Amino acid sequence: MSFRQTLRRTGYVAFMAAALAFFAVPMLWLASAPFDSDPGLGLRWPDWTLANWEATFSHPYALGSLVNSVVLCVVATAVTTVFATLAAYALSRVRIPGRDALLYLLLLLSSVVTGTAAMVPIFVMMFQLGLINSQYATGLVIAGGMLPAAIFILKDFIDSVPRSYEESARVFGASPTQVLLHVVLPVARPGIATILVWAFVQAWGNFLLPFLLLRDVDAQPAAVLLTTLKDEGGSANLNVIPVFSLLYAVPVVALYLFVSKRYGFRFHGGIKA
């Protein structure tokens, strides 16, 4: 029995160690390449220097693009989270005919619109609407693409929030809006926070839409700028890319840590967090 337990223990530790290594090791490049005087595509012990940081900070558009990313993503995330929460709540609680089919259809269509082929319709449509070069409009387009999945996940989450709270609140005479704001929202916070982070991450990495719709290089977000960090002839500029990648990764990580600390990070709710 004891041998079996030891075996189990060892297996457990081995699995955890392997898993941890599997996830952590690839990130080492982000720790070494930004500080390496001659960074390559491979991983190596760096020749410590801060020159790459200087080069990145003096890049005319690097830091500005990070600001642009924040603006763009805040718009997209806020819109997505708010609209998705409202829609998910409504779909979860009220039986609207055809809602399931509608949700699946939208989920499928979102795959078409996030692909390259939708490039022309989106571009021409935004052009006809006069919304080219607008950070806000681009944020809305990004939100539109994310909404179906966000609603899908959130609805699943809200489905498992017990209705007893709402019922009690109704008995006490609360209006539906009050029920939503004061009863459901607090309980659903972890799920909403998760969607918020998810939406932000998706928007943060979106390249195609800003590339098409934001013409000025001053207005470009970091996702697009990262692809332009090349040398004269178009080869990847590995002096700046690692540093910029690190800077680019920081805001999303910070957001995750913040949200996870305050609200936890869960997909299904209920009282046990």
Partner 1 sequence: MRRTVLLAAAMSTTLVLSGCLGQQQESDSGRNADAKDVELTITSNSVKGGKNDAGAKWIEDWVIPEFTKQQKDKGVNVKVKFDGVGVDDDEYKAKVALDFGTDIGGDIVELDGIWLGEFAQGGQIRPLEEIVGKDKVDAWDGWDQIPDAVQQVSTYEGKRYGIPQGTDGRVLFFNKKLFAKVGLPADWQPTSWDEITAAAVSLKSLPGVTPVQLNAGTAMTEATTMQGVLPLLVGTGSEIYADGKWQGDTDGVKSVLDFYQQVYRGKLADPLLAQEAKGRDRSFEEFAQNKIGILLESDYFWRSVIDPEDGVAKMADRDSAVGWAKIPAMAPGSGVDGQDFVSMSGGGLRVINPKTQYPQQAWELLQFMNSAEATKAYLDGTAQITQREDVNKEVLASDPMLSFIAEEILPITRFRPGIAEYPKVSTALQQATADVVAGKSAEDAAAAYKDALVKAVGEDAVAGG
Partner 2 sequence: MVSAPPAEVAAPRRVPGDRDTAGLGVARAIGFLAPGLLLIGLFLVFPALWTIYIGLTNYTLTGTTSTAPAFVGLDNFAEALDDALFGNALWLTLLFVIGSAVLGQNILGFALAWFLRGARVWLRRTVEAFVLLSWILPSVVVAYLWIAVLDRDGGTLGALLGSPGTAWLVEYPMASLIVFNTWRGTAFSMMLYSSALAAVPPSQLETARTMGASGWQTVRDVVFPHIRGHVLTNTLLISLWTANDFSPFLLTAGGPNHESETLPVFIYRQAISSGRLGYAAAISFLLLVVNLVVALVYLVLLRKRS
- Rounded to 10 deg, the angle between the 62-93 and 135-159 helix axes is 40
Judged by beta carbon, residue 102 or residue 140, the one nearer partner 1 is 102
Amino acid at 166: E
Of the candidate residues 25, 50, 185, 217, the single one contacting partner 2 (CB under 8 A): 25
Report the C-alpha gap between 201 and 76 in whole angstroms.
10
Report the C-alpha gap between 120 and 114 in whole angstroms.
12
Q: Give the binding-site size for partner 1 (rule: CB under 8 A).
A: 32
Does residue number 231 form part of the binding site for partner 1 (CB under 8 A)? Answer: yes
Report the C-alpha gap between 217 and 258 in whole angstroms.
31
Of the candidate residues 27, 128, 216, 232, the single one contacting partner 2 (CB under 8 A): 27
Give 113: exposed, middle or buried? Use CB within 10 Å, 0-12, 13-18, 19+. middle
Does residue number 83 form part of the binding site for partner 1 (CB under 8 A)? Answer: no
Best CA proximity match to 88, nearest among 143, 157, 145: 157
Stretch that binds partner 2, among 52-60, 105-113, 212-220 (CB under 8 A): 105-113
Best CA proximity match to 187, nearest among 262, 270, 261: 270
Does residue number 134 form part of the binding site for partner 1 (CB under 8 A)? Answer: no
Stretch that binds partner 1, among 59-67, 80-88, 137-145, 196-204 (CB under 8 A): 59-67
Q: Minimal distance in Å, beta carbon 49 to partner 1?
A: 16
The contact pattern for partner 1, residues 205-224, with x = CB under 8 A and - = no contact, is: ------xx--xxx-------
Report the C-alpha gap between 174 and 72 in whole angstroms.
37
Q: What are phi and psi of 230, to 5 degrees?
A: -120, 175
Give 1: exposed, middle or buried? Use CB within 10 Å, 0-12, 13-18, 19+. exposed
Does residue number 108 form part of the binding site for partner 2 (CB under 8 A)? Answer: yes
CB 193 within 8 A of CB 265: yes
Q: Minimal distance in Å, beta carbon 121 to partner 2?
A: 4
Q: Minimal distance in Å, beta carbon 245 to partner 2?
A: 4
Q: Which residues pair with 236 in a beta bridge?
A: 230
Report the C-alpha gap between 138 and 140 in whole angstroms.
5
Stretch that binds partner 2, among 12-20, 48-56, 57-65, 212-220 (CB under 8 A): 12-20
- Of residues 192 through 231, those in contact with partner 2 by CB under 8 A are 194, 197, 201, 204-205, 207, 223, 226-227
Which partner, partner 1, partner 2, none, binds residue 272 by CB below 5 to 8 Å per kind?
partner 2
Stretch that binds partner 2, among 46-54, 55-63, 212-220, 250-258 (CB under 8 A): 250-258
Of the candidate residues 44, 228, 257, 258, the single one contacting partner 1 (CB under 8 A): 228
Of the candidate residues 46, 49, 114, 123, the single one contacting partner 1 (CB under 8 A): 123
Does residue number 86 form part of the binding site for partner 2 (CB under 8 A)? Answer: yes
Report the C-alpha gap between 187 and 58 in whole angstroms.
46
Judged by beta carbon, residue 59 or residue 266, the one nearer partner 1 is 59
Does residue number 163 form part of the binding site for partner 2 (CB under 8 A)? Answer: yes
